[in-house]
């Protein structure tokens, strides 16, 4: 599978990749934290502010109509990208965290009672832990955890036994932001559905690495952030099945989410507007659509293949270094590699790499319970995107070698 552009053309689309950091060419391997933006996204947002800025769904005037059309076209792009059945199932939010909080609040209000159970996995990002904990505190419900193996594979047998008649919702990550594991979400959803339990999939690290088909997964909710899929900051998607969303109360009140307001009673707008109170980030939504179009034009399978080959290179190079420990060796993983070089502290290593121009993430990666599971306080994470090069992966491997030599 061939990318639609050469690597040189791709890198020219991302001007920030030619930055010099501490006098060295930047090697950006922190794509799990946020991805860089192509000119196709930057330009569309600039053009929008120059030519088509007005509030969406608010006016009968020319600009408001134009921007509303483009906003709704962006919704259609997002729908098609994840293969949702209808546009009304795509809610624009501020991002993954906002989407999960929205579901935890709204679903919790409607369905969760004292003594009920919420099931998440042990490899969740804090964004898919804390909102459920807050819900459990509010409703006196219990949070239960699906364990995983040392390799970073979810224990599906344990998952089956954790589903009880008190389980109200399962919330799992599609891809672990630390281990890179791709979880068998289709199987997880099918098993939960056998018990009539809905499933939320945290797609923050899934959306950018390949094909996401929510109809095929049959999940009830799928959430992701624009900034992790080459789009702008402050925008994200909450996909929900229409039947489910129609049953849930809105979680925020304000303009646009209403049908009729009197001081006595307010009736709510239809989907998706019922969940989009106030002026939404329409510029962000249109920028996000440009990012999704960019990936589609490049070839999503080819993107995933390129990332797999860079991951293989990084895994082989890092594994050959004496004393290295790699966290996350599941057979099915994306281009994320977490590790510790011997007993060297992750922060020391991260700072030395930075001086070499290499950007990686160090610390807990917002997954403290996962770190505890391995008995560590954090590690180093290199997260690779299709625009990274073989030379950049080599630079990381050489950099880590150098770090280990410095601490001998
Ligand atoms: N879930 C996972 C798996 C993540 O990796 C992240 C961010 O790193 C989030 C949720 C939160 O995403 P955001 O900060 O964009 O809301």
Q: Which two tokens stand for residue 360?
A: 């990686």
Cα gap 231→288, rounded to integer Å: 5
101 close to ligand 1 (CB < 6 Angstrom): no
Does 337 fall in a domain? yes
Residue 151 in 3-state DSSP? Answer: coil
121 close to ligand 1 (CB < 6 Angstrom): no
- Nearest Cα to Cα of residue 90 among 260, 292, 297, 302: 292
219 is annotated as an active-site residue: no
Give the per-residue pLDDT at 408. Answer: 74
Q: Which atom in ligand 1 lies closest to the alpha carbon of residue 96?
A: 16
Give the per-residue pLDDT at 211. Answer: 86
31 close to ligand 1 (CB < 6 Angstrom): no
pLDDT of 394 strictly over 80 = yes
User: pLDDT tens across 222-258, in order?
Assistant: 999 999 999 999 999 999 999 999 999 999 999 999 9
Spell out the residues 6+ positions from residue 258 whose beta carbon is closer than 8 angstroms to its own.
266, 267, 268, 269
Residues of the domain holding 136: 43-296
Going by the DSSP 8-state scheme, the letter that residue 164 receives in this structure is -
Identify which of 125, 233, 333 to mutate to test ligand 1's pocket (most ligand atoms within 8 A of the CB): 125
Distance 3 CA to ligand 1 centre (A): 27
CATH number at residue 319: 3.90.1150.10
Structure confidence at residue 58 as a pLDDT band (50, 70, 90): confident
Which residue out of 229, 291, 366, 395 is catalytically annotated?
Answer: 366
Same domain, yes or no: 274 and 345: no
Predicted TM-score (pTM) of the model is: 0.98
205 close to ligand 1 (CB < 6 Angstrom): yes
95 close to ligand 1 (CB < 6 Angstrom): yes
Backbone angles phi, psi at 180, to 5 degrees: 80, -5
Same domain, yes or no: 159 and 196: yes
Give the per-residue pLDDT at 57. Answer: 85
Give the per-residue pLDDT at 1. Answer: 83
Backbone angles phi, psi at 359, to 5 degrees: -100, 115
Does 38 fall in a domain? no
Last residue of a domain, one of 242, 262, 296: 296
Distance 96 CA to ligand 1 centre (A): 6
- For the chain, the average pLDDT equals 97
CB atoms within 10 A of CB 4: 12
Q: Which atom in ligand 1 lies closest to the alpha carbon of residue 127?
A: 10
CB 239 within 8 A of CB 207: no
Residue entry with tokens 């994320």:
336
Any idea of the CA torsion for 34, 37, 42, 45, to the nearest 10 degrees?
A: -50
The residue whose CA has the least distance to atom 14 of ligand 1 is 97
CATH number at residue 50: 3.40.640.10
Distance 27 CA to ligand 1 centre (A): 22
Q: Which two tokens stand for residue 99?
A: 């989407």
Q: Are strands 90-93 and 117-121 parallel, antiparallel or unpaired?
A: unpaired
Does 37 fall in a domain? no
Structure confidence at residue 59 as a pLDDT band (50, 70, 90): confident
Same domain, yes or no: 317 and 258: no
Total count of residues recorded for the chain = 408
**Number of structural domains in the chain:** 2
Identify which of 30, 92, 93, 97 to mutate to test ligand 1's pocket (most ligand atoms within 8 A of the CB): 97
Give the per-residue pLDDT at 60. Answer: 87
Residue entry with tokens 């179009």:
293
User: pLDDT tens across 310-344, in order?
Assistant: 999 999 999 999 999 999 999 999 999 999 999 99
Identify which of 154, 200, 221, 225 to mutate to test ligand 1's pocket (most ligand atoms within 8 A of the CB): 225
Same domain, yes or no: 48 and 176: yes
Q: Which atom in ligand 1 lies closest to the alpha carbon of residue 177?
A: 5
CB 174 within 8 A of CB 182: yes
Distance 326 CA to ligand 1 centre (A): 22
- Nearest Cα to Cα of residue 400 among 337, 333, 350: 350
Cα gap 217→222, rounded to integer Å: 10
Backbone angles phi, psi at 198, to 5 degrees: -75, 160
pLDDT of 345 strictly over 90 = yes
Q: Which two tokens stand for residue 393?
A: 């992966």
Burial-class residue 144 by CB neighbours within 10 Å (0-12, 13-18, 19+).
Answer: middle
Query: What does the DSSP assignment read for 40-103?
Result: HHHHHHHHHHHH--S-TTS-SSHHHHHHHHHHHHHHHHHHHHHT-S-GGGEEEES-HHHHHHHH
Last residue of a domain, one of 267, 296, 325: 296
Cα gap 175→264, rounded to integer Å: 46
| Lowest mean pLDDT, pick from 5-9, 203-207, 315-319, 341-345 | 341-345
Does 35 fall in a domain? no
Last residue of a domain, one of 271, 296, 321: 296
173 close to ligand 1 (CB < 6 Angstrom): yes
């Amino acid at each position: 599978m061939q990318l639609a552009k050469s690597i040189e053309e791709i890198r020219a689309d991302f001007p920030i990749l030619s930055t010099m950091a501490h006098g060295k060419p930047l090697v950006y391997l922190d794509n799990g934290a946020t991805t860089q933006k192509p000119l196709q996204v930057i330009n569309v947002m600039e053009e929008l502010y120059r030519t088509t800025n007005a509030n969406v769904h608010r006016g009968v005037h020319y600009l408001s109509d134009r921007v509303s059309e483009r906003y709704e076209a962006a919704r259609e792009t997002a729908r098609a990208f994840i293969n949702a059945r209808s546009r009304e199932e795509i809610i624009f939010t501020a991002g993954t965290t906002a989407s999960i909080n929205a579901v935890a609040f709204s679903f919790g209000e409607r369905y969760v009672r004292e003594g009920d159970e919420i099931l998440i996995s042990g490899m969740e990002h804090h964004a898919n832990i804390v909102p459920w904990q807050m819900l459990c505190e509010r409703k006196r419900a219990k949070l239960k955890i699906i364990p995983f193996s040392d390799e970073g594979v979810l224990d599906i047998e344990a998952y089956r036994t954790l589903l009880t008649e008190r389980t109200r919702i399962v919330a799992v990550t599609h891809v672990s932001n630390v281990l890179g594991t791709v979880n068998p979400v289709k199987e997880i959803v099918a098993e939960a559905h056998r018990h009539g339990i809905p499933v939320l999939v945290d797609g923050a690290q899934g959306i950018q690495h390949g094909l996401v088909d929510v109809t095929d997964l049959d999940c009830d909710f799928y959430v992701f952030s624009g900034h992790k899929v080459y789009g702008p900051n402050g925008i994200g998607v909450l996909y929900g099945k229409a039947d489910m969303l129609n049953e849930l109360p809105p979680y925020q009140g304000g303009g646009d989410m209403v049908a009729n307001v009197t001081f006595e009673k307010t009736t709510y707008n239809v989907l998706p507007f019922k969940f989009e109170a106030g002026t939404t980030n329409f510029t962000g939504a249109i920028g996000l659509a440009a990012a999704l179009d960019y990936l589609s034009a490049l070839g999503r399978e080819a993107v995933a293949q390129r990332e797999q080959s860079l991951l293989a290179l990084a895994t082989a190079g890092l594994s050959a270094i004496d004393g290295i420990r790699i966290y996350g060796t599941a057979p099915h993983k994306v281009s994320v590699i977490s590790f510790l070089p011997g007993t060297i502290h992750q922060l020391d290593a991260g700072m030395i790499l930075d001086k070499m121009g290499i950007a990686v993430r160090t610390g807990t990666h917002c997954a403290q319970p996962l770190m505890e599971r391995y008995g560590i306080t954090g590690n180093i994470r290199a997260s690779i995107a299709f625009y990274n090069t073989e030379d950049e992966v080599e630079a990381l491997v050489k950099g880590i070698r150098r770090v280990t030599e410095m601490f001998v």
